[in-house]
Amino acid sequence: MPSDTSPGVERAEAHAAASAAQRGDGAVTLADWLLALLADDEAKPALLVAALGVELDAVRTALARRDSPRAVTANLYQIARQKGLFLRSDATVTTDLVLLAVLDADAILADLGVTAEAVEALLATASPQLPEMATDAVAEFHVPEPTELVQAARVVDVNANRARESLRVLDDYCRFVLNDALLTGEVKRLRHDLVEAVGGLPAGPLLAARDTVHDVGTAVDVPGEYERTTPAQVARVNLARLQESLRSLEEYGKILSDAFARRVEGLRYATYTLERALLSRRPGDRLHRAQLYALLTGSQCAASLEWTIAEAAAGGVEVVQLREKGMGDRELLARARDVRRWTRAAGVLFVVNDRADIAALCQADGVHLGQDDLGVAEARRVLGPEAIIGVSTHDAEQVRRAVLDGADYLGVGPTFPSKTKPFDAFPGLDFVREVAGLTTLPAFALGGIDAGNVAGVVAAGLRRVAVSSALATADDPKAVATSLRAALDRSPRPSDGAARFGGLGDAGERSGLDKMGRAGG
Segment holding 113, helix H or strand E: none
Instruction: Please tell me the distance from the alpha carbon of residue 407 to that of residue 441, in angstroms, as a whole number.
Output: 9
> Which residues on adjacent β-strands are paired with residue 294?
320, 467
Amino acid (one-letter) located at 285: D
Instruction: Please tell me the distance from the alpha carbon of residue 162 to that of residue 159, in angstroms, as a whole number.
Output: 5
**Residue 223 contacts residue 165 (beta carbons within 8 Å):** no
Handedness of CA 453, 455, 459, 460 (dihedral sign): positive
Catalytic (active site) residue 323: yes
- The 10 Å CB-count burial string (b at 16+, else e) for 341-350 is ebbeebebbb
**Residue 343 contacts residue 320 (beta carbons within 8 Å):** yes
**Residue 342 contacts residue 309 (beta carbons within 8 Å):** yes
Instruction: Please tell me the distance from the alpha carbon of residue 177 to that of residue 232, in angstroms, as a whole number.
Output: 9
Instruction: Please tell me the distance from the alpha carbon of residue 438 to that of residue 456, in angstroms, as a whole number.
Output: 18
| Class of residue 521 by CB neighbours under 10 A (exposed 0-12, middle 13-18, buried 19+) | exposed
Phi/psi for 322 (5° steps) reads -90, 120
Instruction: Please tell me the distance from the alpha carbon of residue 25 to that of residue 30, in angstroms, as a whole number.
Output: 14
Amino acid (one-letter) located at 161: N
Least Cα distance to 335 among 347, 348, 320 occurs for 320
Which residues lie closer than 8 Å to 171 by C-beta, 6 or more apart? 184, 187, 188, 191
Least Cα distance to 163 among 191, 123, 122 occurs for 191
Catalytic (active site) residue 478: no
Segment holding 53, helix H or strand E: none
Phi/psi for 54 (5° steps) reads -110, 135
| Catalytic position from the list 154, 323, 464, 478 | 323
- Helices assigned H by DSSP within 257-395: 258-279, 286-289, 305-315, 329-346, 356-361, 376-383
| Catalytic position from the list 392, 418, 469, 495 | 392
Catalytic (active site) residue 337: no
**Residue 390 contacts residue 409 (beta carbons within 8 Å):** yes
- Displacement of CA 119 from its chain's centroid (Å): 32
Which residues lie closer than 8 Å to 390 by C-beta, 6 or more apart? 351, 366, 367, 368, 369, 407, 408, 409, 410, 411, 444
Instruction: Please tell me the distance from the alpha carbon of residue 230 to that of residue 214, in angstroms, as a whole number.
Output: 33
| Catalytic position from the list 88, 188, 337, 421 | 421
Least Cα distance to 292 among 495, 482, 507, 428 occurs for 482
Which residues are known catalytic residues? 323, 392, 421
